[in-house]
Amino acid sequence: MKEFGYYVFLVCVAVCALWMLAVFFRTVLLFLRCRRRYMLSDIGREMLRGGGLRRRILGLVSVSALFGAAAALILLAYRYQNAAVNITLTYTEAASGLNPNGSRYNMSDILSDEVLEEAAGALGSVADPELLKNGLSVEPAQKKKDEDDDDLISTQFALSFVSGRETGIQKAEDIVRTVAETYRNWFIRKYAPDFGSLDLSFEDIDDYDYPDMQQYLSVAVQRIITFSEAFSGKDAAFLSGSTGESFSSLKAKAEDIRNTGLGALNDYILYNGISRDPESYMSRIRYGHLIESNEYLKNIRAYNVRLRAIERYDNDMATVVYIPTYDVDNTFYMSKTKIGIDHFSIDAEAFSAAASGNLETIMSQDYLLRQLEGHRRDSAARRNVGETIETLEAQILELAEKTKQTAQDYLDTAQYGYVSISTPDDSFLKEGICIAAAVLGYLILAYAGMVLARMCRRARPQGVEEKVSGEGREAES
Amino acid sequence: MKDFRPLSYIKRHVVSLILFFILMTAGLYVALSLLQTYTAQVTIEYVYNGADQGLAPDGTKLDTSEIYSSAVISRVLDNLHLDQKDHPIDTVRSAVLVEQVEDEEVETVKTALNEDGESSDLQSTKYTISYVVDWKDGKQLQEMAQSVLDEILDVYFTLFSEKYINQSTLVNSISGLERTGYDYIEQVELIETALASTLEQLEARAELAPGFYSTETGYSYSDLEGEVRLLDRSRITPLLAYILNHQVTKDKGALLAKYGQRVKDQEFGQERYDIRIEEVENILDAYVEKLRVSNNTAQSEVITGSRAGLLGGNVIGDVEYPDYLNAAGQWQPFDQTTEYEMLLQSWIDLSDSYDSSVVEAAYCQYVIDCFSGNDEAIETYQRSPARVTLRGEEAGERLTADTAEGEDTADTAEKAEETAGAGAETDAGGGEAAAGSPVSYGGAETVSVEKMERLLTGDSDIYVELPKTCTPEDIAYVEGQIESILVKMDELYAQIETTGSEFNDYIGAEYIRMLSSNHVIEGMNLPLYMAVGAVFFLVLGCFGVILLSRVGDMIEYLAYTDHRLRMPNRAACDRYIDRCKERILPSGFGCIYLQIVNQNEINRKLGREMGDEVLRIFAAGVRGLCSHGEDFAGYNGSGQFIVFLVDGGDGEMDRLNTDLEILLTERLAEKGVTLQYYIGISESRTDGQYRIRGLLTQAIGRKAMCEAGIRRSGQNSEDRE
């Protein structure tokens, strides 16, 4: 909403323009009137001479100069108190009205309490965010004029500030730029991807026994894989200049570590039955075996229940209808109406698969238990495992760093820093030249008007001039 | 009357005009500001399956009025710190408008289907949401409209996500668990349950949005799932094993009582399930029998019916459309499951519950054995928990009887018994268990358990670990472990919660797409209206000034003008003098007094008409003396004229006198008339007289005879002398 002062300013400009227009027309009228009685050369001479008007001309120049200076001062003060910057969203998702993390972009966040409090802190002298909020306004740079305009998702927003008495003598441009920069920092902090999931430390690795090591390291490797997948989805073709890697290649490397490196480690640990505390680990496996056996029993019984349900299904109720149709390959297919036994069969198969999974776990537990029993004191193997784990740790850490660097490169090149701030092109020089031209134009018009008015006033009624000049000539002769 | 000079009128009243203009424009601004409204507007589109049929993601009817529901608006007001006294919820709600936008594609499809005689439930998924504010809503209306609508959308997106998409909640249900009076094993079991539930939900979310990454925590749901799974596998199972193997408890008696009760509860449950299963079986039998007797089964129609009977019976020729038309005239999916299949499913569910109960009861008994030191029972269970569970199971009798009814299953049961018998022979430990259980499930489970045990090739002694006596170190160790697990869980739940709040925003935006930014549209173009109003008031003011001035001129003409000479009359002269009598005249203010001397003579000699003509020529000459707008020339009656000149110094008066004399001589000579008149001149600076009356008196006192027209030789000079 425009302030009342803005309209007063417009009215003043309009009055000045009208005044200049009036002066212009008056001068033209006076010129036409004088033109009837004087030659152009006479008018020109009178203009150059300006006789008898020196004091008034001096006054006119002074008033015009004062007016020009006042206009320049007002303009300067206006520019000092009013400023605007453009905030442009440069990331890919902005065109869909989204934040970089996929949530909805909210333009009003520019004037959120968090941003304004931080900006007020940075400005120092302007301590109250509420005052900033009163002076600030934000709107899409390309506005929708009415309801019939086409829908548009803006990626550029105009942030403007009008300082009041409360904000002190702080320059508006400084304020609006500080707020914009604070917003940019806040936005990047809030919405730019955080690489926290790749900050791997392995500090607590000693809390885990060797047989758990594969899973422990897998969690770290899986983070790299998930992260690379997410970025690969954004730009599969991106190749980092600094690391020489694409997100797909990083993912492939992480999968290699998981499948080959960690797989080999696990095989070695199982084969050699290596544990930091074999007794404790065996105790744990025994308990696990117990639980897994119970799960197996539950699944296998559920499987059997469904088999019997299928048996129970009465033949008289099991009639189906066959319907000729097309399959996914667009070839003829005889489809069948489903009845309960179809669903029971699917369930039975699922429970059978689950029981099979339990069985696999039980067998692994049994194997590990026996291996641990046989290799309780093999310190050489432990040393080897320790070294392998250290090597894998180093590999994973290196890959995580590379992934972070590649992601940062992507953000720097593809997202252009997320938010850019620019100042609209409205230099004071242009406005100053306009004011000077207006003052000069007024000066010339007003001076011409004064001289012409004086000439008109001096002009004698028609015939008098000739008579006087004739009498003069007679007297001379 | 004076000439019509509009510019001079305007110039004369320019100050009043500007004041009028400013006041009216300011008034217009105030009035327009009160009438102005600001409408913030966005367009959204629901982008998920079923949205084009007016359904929400969960299949219920989509209700767009939720956008401005009280729940949304009150949260918006809270978030924006707006006082509900100044902004009542219902007032804000009434200012929100949600309108469906017509979609050309949908309309085209509908038209095409209508042409084919079919109806369509398709509808546009695009909606325009607008929020209107006016002066009553406070200051900074444009910003307010924007921020309120933005907040409404933010809150709605989150609520939409919570209500229809991400309905599960991930909360830390075990915070403060260490302060409860639960025994250690119970605490760990609660932790295990909570982790299992959390894992399930994390898996679902990771599947729902695999590309989602929280920018605040840096984690995806897949990362969090990995962390929770690692905690579950590496910490919970070892701790439970430790508790059981070291008999770690706060109160052994209480624990044994609890688990004893659990075993009893499970047994009661088994009995209940057993009865229910039997009842459902009876229903199933009766149901099928009745249909069979009534010759009303599909099979009977197929086998015995003719083609006509087939088509007219309960096997129909056409495929029925599975949806039905509801009361609102909308097609809705219909549950086609028959009662028979529901009965069977109920039978399956009851059997599952029964089986779970059997397994749970055996496990609870094992826990009791561990804490009560029943080494023999512990050893048996550890060697083969499945066999122990199957042993002594009463349901076996039921199921054996059940399967014996079917001819096909009888053989299987016999084979299973044989196999179980063989298994009993091969395994001394399991033999006892197998002896009790072959009857259960027709031996199918025993076969499976034996298969499993055959895969475990080694000695079963390796599974045996008898509990040790509990020491204070064991208790300290378990307490430390529980505390450390809870701390880790608190950290994980904090990250899950932060990630979750961001996830709701993300998933909301996935299902609802923005089609336009938040734009504010002004109800009226205030600058344009202001400009038009300002111009209108300026023109109105100018016309007003001109009109009033002209009316003033008319009055002046009627009351203060000598109509014959077309110049101010005596009254006007008196008024002018009265106006100026109190003023100190400026330097250079001049006064010319003129009086025609031989008017009567001219009238007498040349006639009255010529006399009037001469008077008019004289008056015109006098009028011509005034070149400045403030100069005054008037006819004072009896052939007297008075002229006041604002700028009469520096010999201007003499020049004007000469000009007048020349002009009159010229004009009157043409008429052949000689005019004699007095002329008196005074000037404020030269005569030191700055009062108008004094100046006039001096001019009258200084009057001298002049002659114009056809000159009588020598007369002029004589008179002047």
Domain edge (last residue) among B165, B184, B217: B165
pLDDT in the model for residue A150: 65
Give mean pLDDT, residues B135-143.
78
pLDDT in the model for residue B603: 85
CA distance B385 to B362: 8
pLDDT in the model for residue B663: 84
**Is the CB of A97 less than 8 angstroms away from the CB of B517?**
yes
CATH of the domain at B61: 3.30.1890
Higher pLDDT, A8 or A248: A248
Tens-place pLDDT, residues B432-445: 333 333 234 556 66
For B624, name the nearest residue in chain A, comparing CA atoms only.
A461
Contact A100/A191 with Cβ under 8 angstroms?
Answer: yes
Q: Would B151 be classed as within a structural domain?
A: yes
The residues, ordered by sequence, that sit 6+ positions from B543 with a Cβ below 8 Å of its Cβ are none
Confidence of residue A15 (pLDDT cuts 50, 70, 90): confident
Residue B579 structure tokens = 């106006």
For A97, name the nearest residue in chain B, comparing CA atoms only.
B514
- What ipTM was predicted for this assembly? 0.71
For A311, name the nearest residue in chain B, comparing CA atoms only.
B406
Q: Would B335 be classed as within a structural domain?
A: no
- Which of A103, A161, A289 should one mutate to test binding to chain B, selecting the residue with the greatest count of B CBs within 10 A? A103
- The H-or-E segment that residue B633 falls in is strand B632-637
- The three-class DSSP label of residue B642 is strand
B149-to-A88, A141, B76, B92, B144 alpha-carbon distances in Å: 21, 18, 9, 10, 8
**Residue A405 pLDDT > 90, yes or no?**
yes
**Residue A58 pLDDT > 60, yes or no?**
yes
Tens-place pLDDT, residues B443-453: 666 677 777 77
For residue B134, the cross-strand partners are: B37
Q: Is A323 on the interface with B (CB under 8 A)?
A: yes
Interface of A with B in 298-317 (CB under 8 A): 298, 300-302, 304-309, 311-317
Amino acid at B401: A
Q: How far is CA A241 from the centre of its chain?
A: 24
- Neighboring chain B residues of A146 at a CB cutoff of 8 Å: 521
Closest Cα partner for B277 from B340, B351, B358?
A: B351
pLDDT in the model for residue A126: 54
Provide the residue ranges of all domains of chain A, joining segments of one domain with +: 1-192+419-477, 205-414
- Neighboring chain A residues of B468 at a CB cutoff of 8 Å: none
**Is the CB of A305 less than 8 angstroms away from the CB of B302?**
no
**Is the CB of A288 less than 8 angstroms away from the CB of B237?**
yes
- A72 CA to chain B: closest CA distance, Å? 23
**Residue B306 pLDDT > 80, yes or no?**
no
- The three-class DSSP label of residue A378 is coil
CA distance B7 to A461: 23
**Residue A399 pLDDT > 90, yes or no?**
yes
For A226, name the nearest residue in chain B, comparing CA atoms only.
B222
Contact A316/B288 with Cβ under 8 angstroms?
Answer: yes
Residue B523 structure tokens = 């109800």
Domain edge (last residue) among B165, B186, B207: B165
**Is the CB of B150 less than 8 angstroms away from the CB of A108?**
yes
Give me the residue label for tokens 């399959």. A327
Confidence of residue A253 (pLDDT cuts 50, 70, 90): very high
For B360, name the nearest residue in chain A, comparing CA atoms only.
A294
Contact A297/B453 with Cβ under 8 angstroms?
Answer: no
**Is the CB of A137 less than 8 angstroms away from the CB of B143?**
yes
Average pLDDT, chain A: 82
Q: What percent of chain B has pLDDT over 70?
A: 83
Closest Cα partner for B428 from B469, B473, B459?
A: B459
For A465, name the nearest residue in chain B, comparing CA atoms only.
B659
**Is the CB of B509 less than 8 angstroms away from the CB of A103?**
yes
Q: Is A376 on the interface with B (CB under 8 A)?
A: no
Q: How many CB pairs under 8 A join A and B?
A: 327
Confidence of residue B399 (pLDDT cuts 50, 70, 90): very low
Tens-place pLDDT, residues A25-43: 888 988 888 887 788 888 8
Tens-place pLDDT, residues A82-92: 888 999 998 88
Domain edge (last residue) among B136, B165, B194: B165
In degrees and rounded to multiples of 5, residue B640 shows phi and psi of -100, 135
- Neighboring chain A residues of B214 at a CB cutoff of 8 Å: 101, 194
**Residue B400 pLDDT > 70, yes or no?**
no
pLDDT in the model for residue B240: 92
Q: Would B157 be classed as within a structural domain?
A: yes
Contact A92/A86 with Cβ under 8 angstroms?
Answer: no
Q: How far is CA B653 from the centre of its chain?
A: 80
For A356, name the nearest residue in chain B, comparing CA atoms only.
B452
The residues, ordered by sequence, that sit 6+ positions from B462 with a Cβ below 8 Å of its Cβ are A369, A370, A373
Contact B375/B466 with Cβ under 8 angstroms?
Answer: yes
- The three-class DSSP label of residue A324 is strand
Using CB atoms within 10 Å of the CB of residue A181, give its burial: 0 to 12 exposed, 13 to 18 middle, 19+ buried: middle
Amino acid at A160: S
In degrees and rounded to multiples of 5, residue B587 shows phi and psi of -65, 135
Q: How far is CA A362 from the centre of its chain?
A: 52
**Is the CB of B527 less than 8 angstroms away from the CB of A153?**
no
Q: What is the pTM of this model?
A: 0.67
What is the SS3 assignment for B510-554?
HHEEECCCCEEEECCCHHHHHHHHHHHHHHHHHHHHHHHHHHHHH
Give mean pLDDT, residues A130-157.
77
- B365 CA to chain A: closest CA distance, Å? 13
- The H-or-E segment that residue B675 falls in is strand B674-683
- B604 CA to chain A: closest CA distance, Å? 30
Q: Would B416 be classed as within a structural domain?
A: no
**Residue B288 pLDDT > 60, yes or no?**
yes
Range of the domain at B662: 563-720
pLDDT in the model for residue B438: 29
For B457, name the nearest residue in chain A, comparing CA atoms only.
A366
- Neighboring chain A residues of B347 at a CB cutoff of 8 Å: 309, 312
B515-to-A151, A154, B366, B448, B509 alpha-carbon distances in Å: 6, 10, 62, 59, 11
Closest Cα partner for B423 from B450, B441, B443?
A: B450
CA distance B55 to B48: 9
Rounded (10°) angle between helices A213-234 and A247-256: 160
CA dihedral A102, A103, A109, A115 (to 10 degrees): -70
Interface of A with B in 254-273 (CB under 8 A): none
Q: How many folded domains does chain B comprise?
A: 2
Give mean pLDDT, residues A198-218.
88
Give mean pLDDT, residues A390-412.
92
- A45 CA to chain B: closest CA distance, Å? 22
- B176 CA to chain A: closest CA distance, Å? 24
**Residue A256 pLDDT > 90, yes or no?**
yes
Higher pLDDT, A33 or B115: A33
- Under DSSP, the state recorded for B131 is E
Query: Pairing state of beta strands B590-596 and B674-683?
Result: antiparallel
Other CB atoms within 10 Å distance of the CB of residue A308:
22
pLDDT in the model for residue B396: 42
B284-to-A320, A471, B298, B343, B441 alpha-carbon distances in Å: 20, 145, 17, 7, 20
**Is the CB of B513 less than 8 angstroms away from the CB of A284?**
no
Least confident of A151-165, A188-202, A390-404: A151-165
Q: Is A146 on the interface with B (CB under 8 A)?
A: yes
Interface of A with B in 92-111 (CB under 8 A): 96-98, 100-108, 111
Q: Is A411 on the interface with B (CB under 8 A)?
A: no
**Is the CB of B154 less than 8 angstroms away from the CB of A301?**
no
| Nearest Cβ partner for A102 among B216, B457, B506 | B506
Q: Is A70 on the interface with B (CB under 8 A)?
A: no
CA distance A4 to A17: 20
For A224, name the nearest residue in chain B, comparing CA atoms only.
B223
- Neighboring chain A residues of B217 at a CB cutoff of 8 Å: 194, 196
- The three-class DSSP label of residue A175 is helix
**Is the CB of A340 less than 8 angstroms away from the CB of B445?**
no
pLDDT in the model for residue A475: 45
- Neighboring chain A residues of B659 at a CB cutoff of 8 Å: 460-461, 464, 468
Give mean pLDDT, residues B473-497.
91
**Is the CB of A373 less than 8 angstroms away from the CB of B527?**
no
Residue B552 structure tokens = 């003033």
- Which of B456, B498, B524, B625 should one mutate to test binding to chain A, selecting the residue with the greatest count of A CBs within 10 A? B456
**Residue B685 pLDDT > 70, yes or no?**
yes
Higher pLDDT, B656 or B225: B225
CA distance B512 to B56: 11
- The H-or-E segment that residue B669 falls in is helix B652-671
- Neighboring chain B residues of A301 at a CB cutoff of 8 Å: 352, 355, 441, 445
